[in-house]
Amino acid sequence: MQDVLVFRRVRAVDPGRQLDAEIDVVIEKKLITRAGPRAADQLIGSVPNDRIRVIEVPGALLLPGLVDLHAHLREPGQEYKEDIASGLAAAAAGGFTDVCVMPNTRPVNDTRAVTELLVHKARAVGGTRLHPIAAITVGQKGDTLTEMADLKEGGAVALSDDGRCVTRSDVMRRALEYASTFDLPIIQHAEDHALTAGAEMHEGGVSTRLGLRGWPRIAEDVIVARDVLIAEYVKAKYHVAHVSTMGSVRILREAKSRGIPVTAEVTPHHLLLTDQKLIGYDTACKVNPPLRETEDLLALREALADGTIDCIATDHAPHSPLEKDCELSEAAPGMIGLELCLPLMLGLVEKGILPMGRMVEALTRAPARIVGLDAPTIAEGAPANLTLVDPNREWTVAPERLRTKSKNTPFMGHTMKGMVLATIVHGSIAFDATAKGC
């Protein structure tokens, strides 16, 4: 690799610096050394050609590196769906420099040994950085707290029982108190399982018509409301995973207005799809929490735009045909997301639904802040963590184009507008499709 990498005449967007301008960005020795209008002009003339690489794609956007708070990479235990190497490759191809991985593996990541295994394997793979999220309770069973100090020392950046809800109030109280002493956020999968037993989709008009068992909004709302009260009482950081209901939005908005330290994420699929997609019994559209109704989708979009929902997270949930080519009731919930997230979100920006700056913040600084990572930024002297994307380039989602091992997405065959061209992790190129773009 050359010593100097230049992104020339890119539209750089970094809401943390109120930056949205056409500039040159120069990377040397892992750092951004210059960032400004025509900042590379002199350099390009003076550095020998074999020592400098200049990437210039008309109309390209340069963003701080994307951070995903919520992905399932399935290793250890279900490597036929995904493993660390394929998951990190998919993350890099999706523009993510950092990905936080959920602990519902086999075995569950509820010990320092598993946390360290993930860290070591990911370092060996290189490229996009992996940050383990360890379990809140042993075996994600909801009863006994994990050894949080150990998990933090092993590299965990947060705690979650994702896939399962911490339903016991006493356990949630102690988890929040204990985790806050180590400054680890608790991430809740908000679902009152007693209200969702056997559910196949959102409970509403469509589920009634199809004769399918429903997952009512209140199963999420009651947990979020309770947890907000506990977080207020114990003054601890609390984060809600994949918010899906207008009720949760209302509760979060009120909580934030009262200064309670709550944060939340929303997935691309909950921002774009509704329960109508289940009319054809498409198992690719079975997710947990389920796709809701238009009024929820609109509330989620508004909440993301106004900051009530802090960030966008993929909930990348790879499954094989074994878990998806079956009846809806039998199908595993989840869809892949790492390689589709940015194009889908750029679609919301293009339609005027989400301001560009907000989208970038929700995929970079906001998630980084929640798990205590350094916020990526486009500034001289900052580590070079960057994502280059051509917002005008169209491509069609096809199995062979995806790096993830699993192909479970209702967007298969859809044309996306917006293609990731390069992902730079600490100065190194983790993903490079510029040859196709220039």
Binding site for Zn ion (CB under 5 A): 162, 189, 241
- Min dist. Cβ of residue 311 to ligand DOR (A): 17
Binding ligand DOR (rule: CB under 6 A), the pick from 64, 132, 333, 418 is: 333
Chain position carrying tokens 């994702």: 162
Cα angle: 278, vertex 284, 288; to 5 degrees: 80
Cβ nearer to ligand DOR, comparing 24 with 296: 296
Q: How far apart are CA 240 and CA 319, in angstroms?
A: 23
Using an 8 Å Cβ cutoff, are 370 and 311 in contact? Answer: yes
Decide: residue 401, CB within 10 A, 0-12 exposed, 13-18 middle, 19+ buried: exposed
- Min dist. Cβ of residue 215 to ligand DOR (A): 11
Half-sphere exposure of 285 (CA within 13 A, CB side): 18
Binding ligand DOR (rule: CB under 6 A), the pick from 64, 87, 132, 163 is: 163
Which range, of 115-123, 148-156, 244-252, 326-334, touches ligand DOR by CB under 6 A? 326-334
Decide: residue 194, CB within 10 A, 0-12 exposed, 13-18 middle, 19+ buried: exposed
313 binds ligand DOR (CB under 6 A): no
Which residue in the list 227, 296, 315, 390 is annotated as catalytic?
315
Cβ nearer to ligand DOR, comparing 314 with 423: 314
Q: By C-alpha distance, which of 293, 357, 348, 344 is closest to 316?
A: 344
Cα angle: 262, vertex 268, 273; to 5 degrees: 115
Which range, of 195-203, 331-339, 376-384, 426-434, touches ligand DOR by CB under 6 A? 331-339
Which range, of 40-48, 126-134, 137-145, 330-338, touches ligand DOR by CB under 6 A? 330-338
343 binds ligand DOR (CB under 6 A): no
- Min dist. Cβ of residue 108 to ligand DOR (A): 11
288 binds ligand DOR (CB under 6 A): yes
Cβ nearer to Zn ion, comparing 283 with 314: 314
- Min dist. Cβ of residue 161 to Zn ion (A): 9
Encoding tokens for residue 200? 């196949």
Q: How far apart are CA 433 and CA 438, in angstroms?
A: 9
Instruction: Count other Cβ atoms within 10 Å, centred on residue 49.
Output: 9
- Min dist. Cβ of residue 104 to ligand DOR (A): 5
The residue at minimum Cβ distance from Zn ion is: 189
CA distances from 375 to 228, 316, 426 (A): 26, 22, 13
Encoding tokens for residue 336? 């892949």
Cα angle: 225, vertex 226, 232; to 5 degrees: 90
Which range, of 277-285, 327-335, 356-364, 365-373, touches ligand DOR by CB under 6 A? 327-335
Using an 8 Å Cβ cutoff, are 300 and 270 in contact? Answer: yes
Cβ nearer to Zn ion, comparing 64 with 334: 334
315 a catalytic residue:
yes
Decide: residue 298, CB within 10 A, 0-12 exposed, 13-18 middle, 19+ buried: middle
Number of H helices, E strands in the chain: 16, 18
Integer Rg of the chain from CA: 21
287 binds ligand DOR (CB under 6 A): yes
Binding ligand DOR (rule: CB under 6 A), the pick from 8, 152, 189, 237 is: 189
361 binds ligand DOR (CB under 6 A): no
> From the list ligand DOR, Zn ion, none, which binds 337 (C-beta under 5 to 8 Å, kind-based)?
none
162 binds ligand DOR (CB under 6 A): yes
Q: By C-alpha distance, which of 82, 147, 89, 156 is closest to 117?
A: 156
Interface characters, 66-105, with ligand DOR (x: CB under 6 A): ------x-------------------------------x-
217 binds ligand DOR (CB under 6 A): no
Chain positions contacting ligand DOR, by CB under 6 A: 72, 104, 162-163, 189, 287-288, 315, 317, 332-334
Q: Which residues are catalytic, by number? A: 315
